[in-house]
Chain A
Amino acid sequence: DVKVTQSSRYLVKRTGEKVFLECVQDMDHENMFWYRQDPGLGLRLIYFSYDVKMKEKGDIPEGYSVSREKKERFSLILESASTNQTSMYLCASSFSVGGEEQYFGPGTRLTVT
């Protein structure tokens, strides 16, 4: 059974804190993605990775960084959390980037106060 897990379902952090969101997939997928989802804006791509130690910027990378040291794990880092980063964060993985189904994790609802 396909599985993408995220480290936390709910997280509350203070402005200026460094925040780590972890994502693990057990499907041996090459590609992993981080999105944020906000009402009325849909899913917006933050970063994605085609391979270990590889990363590409998505539409809204500002204020975020990522790390992919192992194939199954893709981490999203908020270097200095701000209130406008309060959102639902969704991790996804896929076997290939082009035209393949993306499998999503359960999401992390992050609140920055």
Chain B
Amino acid sequence: QKEVEQNSGPLSVPEGAIASLNCTYSDRGSQSFFWYRQYSGKSPELIMFIYSNGDKEDGRFTAQLNKASQYVSLLIRDSQPSDSATYLCAVMINDMRFGAGTRLTVKP
């Protein structure tokens, strides 16, 4: 089992819809969770981090963490074509472990 798993996608949503990106992790001791966005040909950039169970909101982005289920998600409300990118889930175990990423396409 991979330490951090994501659906590779592609995930396609219409403009204005909610995009839901999911991530599961294997180590119950993980404490820190991150979502990075990576545009094609560019390097990853951090968009959200979450440490506690529950929801954390930042503008159109909401990160959700459920440590009991070992599950972290990212919701993007009012999706825009500019949100089209690959989204990487990262989990701090002994060091940062990344999922393979989910490719999101937002269609105008």
Contacts and interface: CB of A to CB of B under 8 A. Distances in A.
Contacts of B96: 33, 45, 102
B92 A41 contact: no
A106 B39 CA distance: 11
Given A41-B100, A42-B100, A99-B32, A107 B95 contact: no
Interface residues of A, number: 20
Contact of B46 (A35, A102, A105, A106): A102
- Interface SS, A side: loop
Contacts of B101: 42
Contact of B43 (A98, A99, A101, A107): A107
B8 interface: yes
Chain B, interface size: which category?
20 to 34
Nearest to B2: A42
A101 B34 contact: yes
B51 A42 contact: no
Nearest to B96: A102
B98 interface: yes
A33 B51 CA distance: 22
Contacts of A102: 46, 96
Nearest to B97: A45
30 contacts: A33-B96, A40-B8, A42-B4, A42-B88, A42-B98, A42-B101, A43-B88, A44-B98, A45-B96, A48-B95, A58-B95, A90-B43, A90-B44, A97-B95, A98-B31, A98-B32, A98-B92, A99-B32, A99-B49, A99-B51, A99-B92, A101-B34, A101-B49, A102-B46, A104-B43, A104-B45, A105-B43, A106-B43, A107-B42, A107-B43
